[in-house]
Amino acid sequence: MVRVKFAAILIGPAGVGLLGIYNQIIALIATATGMGIGNSGVRQVAEAVGSNDDERIARTVITLRRTAWLTGALGMLVMIILCVPISRVTFGTSNYAISVALLGVTLLFSAITTGQACLLRGARRIADIARITVISAFGGTLISVPCFYLWGIRGIVISQILSSIAVLATSWWYARRFQTVPLMVSWPESRIEARSLLSLGISFMGAALATSATAYAIQALLVRHFSLADAGIYQAAYNLSGVLVGFVLGAMGADYYPRLTAIAGDHSGVHRMVNEQSQVSVLLALPALAAMMVFAPLIIQFFYSASFAAAVPLLRWCILGILGRVFSWPIGFVMLAQGKGTIYFATEAFACGLHLAAVALFTRIWGLDGAGIAFMALYIFYTGLMLIVMRRLVGETWTRQTLKLILISTTIMLLLIINCRLNSNLIGAWSINICILSMVAYYCLNQLLSKSQLGLHELFARLRG
């Protein structure tokens, strides 16, 4: 958040837009060349650790690390070779080709980092993952802000490269603690071991590639149809809408995915865990989303600047889309845990195609705000699609308790956006918003404490103690 604030001040909407497009290009090429090992690697490590077979664990770790190096080198070469076409397709000119080629270095470092993160996630080293996240965020900020200050927009590429090195160093420091038994594994043996890693990973890669390609295409579409500054405004709204919830879901997913993988064959266990995770996710996310809906103008001003004021309505539409992501997020892991790569790819590709088509159509009708409306519409559809998939894979979907919580949260968010957009009485609008926020905070906290077998009185007693 601090890094984004300085970026907004030092390089403006156009710089934020350019930074977002560079990130989309990196994500697209990394996904295309990464072979999906970010997901399949976690699954392989989790299964190996669960087997308690030291040799199998060592073989899996060695193969994963070698694969990460190879995919990273491939991504870097692709970025360098295709720098001119990428620049022309994205910006309509080859002036950005050198910058694109230099960013190829980050693909190598990021791939190695991904391999190391897979080890920690698969082994459920949750504390180490949290430390890497925090240290990397601080390091990236300390690197990026001086680059933006000294070189402006030209400092974006330098900051990206140096930040990727910092993240790699941090992940290596913690991953080296994951000790395995000494084992000599030849490259032919690794190639055999890698087949199962890549066979599932390619399906995941296809799904992730569809997502990355869609995000890239949306950014390119906004640049072509509007401007680089408008693309930056959309990027600001999109990033802010998911930053708090993304942090929560990412932290929970680090533990949830390996646990779900361990019981993937037990349908009743999967059904129970998905519903438990859904309820906790909504209870954690709802207060944050409600607060962001109410304080959207202040949040944009605080984390960006006055030049990003047009992002406020976009942010509110995106927040409704993020609520749908919270609903569908625990269900999506079922396909990953059960290794249903084909179904996963089909659902993700279809949803991505629909998202891109909705952006193209809605921006023609509602202008830049149409991109936020399209994001909301995507997750209305996607949540329904995930429920259909879950019923097919597990035989059941949401319990009555989960459905009740989802209906309550949806109603609350709809009331807030209606009040924020249509209530012209400033005092009345804020009174209603604060009242709703207070009730939401109390309800969610009380529900979370009851699930952890604590009450408010017990919590306050512990705090006083």
- pLDDT tens for 36-64 read 777 677 777 777 777 777 777 787 778 88
Over 70: is that where the pLDDT of 465 sits? no
CB count in 10 Å sphere of residue 241: 29
Distances in whole angstroms, Cα of residue 99 to Cα of each of 157, 189, 421:
6, 38, 41
In the chain, the amino acid numbered 320 is L
Residue scoring higher pLDDT (380 or 178): 380
Whole-prediction pTM: 0.73
Tokens linked to 141: 């900020």
Q: Which residue has the tokens 């949803």?
A: 351
The 3-state secondary structure of 34-46, one letter per residue = HCCHHHHHHHHHH
Q: Are 121 and 129 in contact (CB under 8 A)?
A: yes
Mean pLDDT for all residues in the chain? 86
DSSP-derived letter for residue 93 is S
Distances in whole angstroms, Cα of residue 109 to Cα of each of 114, 116, 169, 327:
9, 11, 9, 33
Nearest-angstrom CA–CA distance, 385 and 269: 21
Lowest mean pLDDT among 52-61, 77-86, 186-195, 431-440: 186-195
Over 60: is that where the pLDDT of 456 sits? no
